[in-house]
Structure 1
Amino acid sequence: MRYKNSNIRKCLNTKTIAQCAAFFLYCLLPLKGFCQTGESTVNTLVEMGFENVGWTEDGNERVYVLQNSAYRLQGVGISKAVDVIQKMGLPEKKSCRIIVLNNNVPQISLYYHPLKGDSVLQAERNDWNVSYELGDAWKEARKIKLKNSSLFKVDVLVYPQLAFKNLIITQIYQVLFDLSPAIEVSFWKGMKVTAQLKVPVYNDGYGKYEGKVHPGNLTISQRLRLPYNIFGKVTAGYFNADQYGFDAEFFRPFNDERFSLLARIGYTGTGYWDGFKLHYDPSTWVVTWSLGGSFYWPQFNTQFTLKAEQYLMEEKGVRFEMIRHFRYCSIGFYAMKAENAKSNGGFRFQVALPPYKYKRKGYIPRVNTSANMGIVYNAGNERLYYKQYKAEASDNIMEQNSFNPYFIKSELLNF
């Protein structure tokens, strides 16, 4: 009988220990968000395809650094990253910041500060403040070693390019359609090389030179973030519109980030391709410039821009634009008036091209369509004045707005 009671006591002790262990584990379940480290969050983001990912923290704030290379649309990619960090990467009882890079250059930050009594499980997308400000933590975050570097990784992007004109009474439109693949790669922070080839698919009325395979944009650019939140890009090489030379553009938001200053200056000559032979005149160099301001209306994601400009014919003028930005497209209109030229205007739009999610496999070149495709319609049919160029193949109105804090905030709330 004594032996039987001893076995019963052993069973009861074992059962009690098991119950205590189960209760302890059950109590830890709500703290899952706290127990996860920043390292596991970084690894998850890397597995999703994000590049230049890292983290650091001090006694006041945890900081994540990342570059969206997994989704074609920045708003979508950043929203996905926020979801992951909210689920498994928020620190306990301290603030959290996400610094978003573009080509290794910081663009914006998303900042979350829990209120007293908040827990990790209460964090939602609308709790994040989006701004061009990076905070003091960037001084330390810039020193950390980032995982899944974007450097030396090649993108082969095929740019569909459509042009049409209505100059002949007996013909509705003359059309030019090109498929223009471009190799894009970065060798150091902020730098990008673009080498594009224009392959005509259909040419009706655009001349024999456009009917031949020939180079497109051949450029090297350097993106900068200067003190006082000044963003810049300097580009050299062969541009579109038969121009080659140098171009520099700068953007500076005010403290009220709805308002910003815009400036650009270019020094270019004229040259055209006959197949792979470049014809140019070294005496045709000209200075073009643009200076103005912009206002962003967050309620409707609409941007108003007014600029004074000098064009390729050296005529000076004024340009007004109103562009509304949606997730998958941007559309608006413009109006211009220059000296010795009649008023002109029209509309423009840019449409995002699928697929909207793409992922690299190591350093294997990634082949895809360009991020988007657009058209500028010249309603006044002006062919001599108001001529401009694009320095990079990827320059467009959607790209220029992709890191706008108000646009990113609207994507967080509406995704």
Structure 2
Amino acid sequence: MNRFLIAILLSAGSLSLRAQVAERLQQLGMENIRTVTENGNTTIAFEDNVYRGTYRGIGKAIIAAMEGMSQGNLQMVVLENRIPQLCIALSERVVTEYKEKRMSIGEVYRQMEISHDTDEAMEILKGTHHTLNSSAGKVDIVVYPEVKLENSSFDRLYSYYVNLAPAVEMALWKGAELTAQVVLPIATNLNGQYKKIRPGVIALSQEFYFGKGFLGRVTAGNFTNNRMGGQAEITYRTANGRLELGAIAGGTVQSVLTDDEGWYVSRKLRMNAALKASVYEPRFNLQFEVQAARYLYGDYGVRGDCTRHFGEYAIGVYGMYTDGEINGGFHFAIPLPGKRWSRNRGVRVRQADYFALEYSMTTWGKYTNEKMGETYKIKPDENRSNRFFQPEYIRYFLIKEANKQITNF
């Protein structure tokens, strides 16, 4: 009888602990929350669709989870579209010393374990099927700015366009997302489709996590650069995120709005493919990328990028060589106003988190006439700041934010 009573009390305590941690995360607006308590230790998964960037929401979730703890170790899995991205582990000692104000939050960030190795934690969470504050079916209407500036003709200094491109984005089942975008022209000195309201990215994407650091994604629909078709990609990343390898293969046809035929879709299939590698250097927050690719119009080439991460700002340069032609330029992604966008109802209207732009130095001659180095994007928000889940980057800027708060105080 006594053993039965003890078991009931322990079970009740476990349920209470899980509820406290989950409730605090839900109060922040975190979604897809799942919790398991074993032997007094808590494992929790959550997804941040509230805070701009990656590290800000993670920092707030760590604080909230520790404040909801009473004992045991804490293990947190960070999700993106319900696919595991990071695992953060905090010992009972760290949690206790923080709650007793014997350790600063900056020191917590220094001592926490953070990596892409989520397999063990996801195996623990496999036993629970209850999800708190699910993101499934919730809709975002996101307004993206589009700007292009190109010096590619002799009769004008620059060709340009400025558009607003609102997109409906909806999470479906695990790893699946639907995007439907329309492009609204604001100002341009170009003709044809650039002066028309036209479709943007209209796509269905399915992501997969295979374990052991392997992820995959398959996307079909209408993409940027007037392409329609499908693309498959696979990525491998080490636990510390310093090395990432990937491959992409796509097949698309032309999809363009014309004066004569309306929305014209060609029958000629064009194949593209690329092998990619990325190395992250944590001391200076530098990301080096190299890829060997077959581009849309049959040219083969290599491209190298170097990007510096300044918090949520990403600024970089690139160079490429394709079929005897050389090109280069720069790119950047900068955060737009609005660090937090609450999602209390089924539909949320917000602006994009970032404005991204890439400038090419070579915009004339053979390189332009033969459309060399051409590719496309499968999502409106693809840039080097968004969804950047590099573990050492996140730790570094969490510590920097914590130190800044102490200085301001």
Give the Å deviation of 1:398.
1.6
The residue number in structure 1 matching 2:8 is none
Q: Of 76, 80, 91, which aligns to 1:102?
A: 80
- Aligned-pair distance for 1:387? 0.4
CA distance in 2: counterparts of 1:48 and 1:115, whole angstroms: 25
Q: Is the 8 A contact 2:53 2:385 kept in 1?
A: no
The aligned runs of 1:11-22 (5 Å cut-off) are none
> What one-letter code is carried by the residue in structure 1 that aligns with 2:79?
L
Q: Does 1:149 align with 2:134?
A: yes
SS of aligned partner of 2:329: strand
* Pairing 1:327–2:311 present: yes
Contact 1:36 1:88 in 2 (8 A): no
Q: 1:399 aligns with which of 374, 380, 386?
A: 386
The CA deviation at 1:292 is 2.6
**Distance change (3 Å), C-alpha of 1:380 and 1:59:** same
Out of 201, 214, 221, the residue aligned to residue 237 of structure 1 is 221
1:198 paired residue number: 183
TM-score, length basis structure 1: 0.85
State the 1:76 CA deviation.
Answer: 0.4
Partner of residue 62 from structure 1, selected from 42, 64, 74: 42
Call closer, same or farther: CA 1:359–1:40 in 2, change over 3 Å.
same
What do you get for the CA RMSD once the two structures are aligned?
2.2
Aligned to 1:260, which of 222, 229, 244?
Answer: 244
Asked if 1:367 is matched to 2:367, the reply is no
Query: 1:223 & 1:234 partners in 2: Cα distance?
Result: 7
**Residue 377 of structure 1: how far off its partner (Å):** 0.5
Which whole-Å CA distance do the structure 2 matches of 1:407 and 1:311 have between them? 31
Amino acid at match of 2:89: Y
Q: What SS class does the counterpart of residue 299 from structure 1 fall into?
A: coil
Equivalenced residue count is 375
User: Following TM superposition, by how much is the alpha carbon of 1:118 offset from its aligned partner in structure 2, in angstroms?
Assistant: 6.2
Q: What's the offset of the Cα at 1:300?
A: 1.6
Q: Which residue of 1 aligns with 2:196?
A: 212
Partners of 2:352 and 2:229 in 1: CA distance: 24
Q: Give the Cα separation in 2 of the matches to 1:233 and 1:135.
A: 19
In the alignment, residue 352 of structure 1 is paired with which amino acid?
Answer: P
Deviation of 1:256 after TM superposition, in Å, equals 5.3
Shift of 1:47: 1.7
Please list, as runs of the form range in 1=range in 2, the aligned pairs for 1:108-257 lying within 5 A after superposition.
108-114=86-92, 119=97, 120-121=99-100, 122=102, 124-142=108-126, 143-169=128-154, 171-204=156-189, 206-255=190-239, 257=241
Of 263, 276, 290, which residue of structure 2 is paired with 1:306? 290
Query: In the alignment, is residue 376 of structure 1 matched against residue 358 of structure 2?
Result: yes
Larger radius of gyration: 1
AA aligned opposite 1:289: A
Are the aligned partners of 2:87 and 2:121 in contact in 1 as well (CA < 8 Å)? Answer: no
2:394 paired with 1:411? no
2:338 to 339, 355, 359: 355
Give a deviation string over 1:130-181, Cα, whole Å, max 9, x none: 1011252322313341211000000000010001112345643222000000
Q: Give the secondary-structure state (helix, strand or coil) at the position aligned to 1:398.
A: coil
CA distance in 1, matches of 2:327, 2:339: 35
Query: Is 1:80 matched with 2:60?
Result: yes
Which residue identity is paired with 1:399?
N
Other structure's SS at 1:136 match:
helix
Q: Please tell me the residue identity of whatever aligns with 1:237.
A: G
1: CA distance, partners of 2:150 / 2:303: 22
Contact 2:24–2:68 (CA under 8 A) maintained in structure 1: no
* Runs (5+) with no aligned partner, structure 1: 1-33
**2:279 counterpart (291, 295, 298):** 295
Q: CA deviation at 1:54?
A: 2.6
* Secondary structure, aligned partner of 2:117: coil
- Structure 1 residues 35 and 270 mapped into 2: Cα distance closer, same or farther (>3 Å)? closer
The answer (yes or no) to whether the contact 1:193–1:220 under 8 Å persists in 2 is yes
2-structure distance, mates of 1:294, 1:247: 20
**CA deviation after TM superposition for structure 1 residue 115, in Å:** 5.2
**Partner-residue secondary structure (3-state), 2:269:** strand
Contact 1:126 1:412 in 2 (8 A): no
Match of 1:22 in 2: none
Counterpart CA distance in 2 for 1:105 and 1:52 is 10
Cα distance in 2, alignment partners of residues 386 and 136 from structure 1: 41
Answering whether residue 302 of structure 2 is matched by residue 318 of structure 1, we say yes
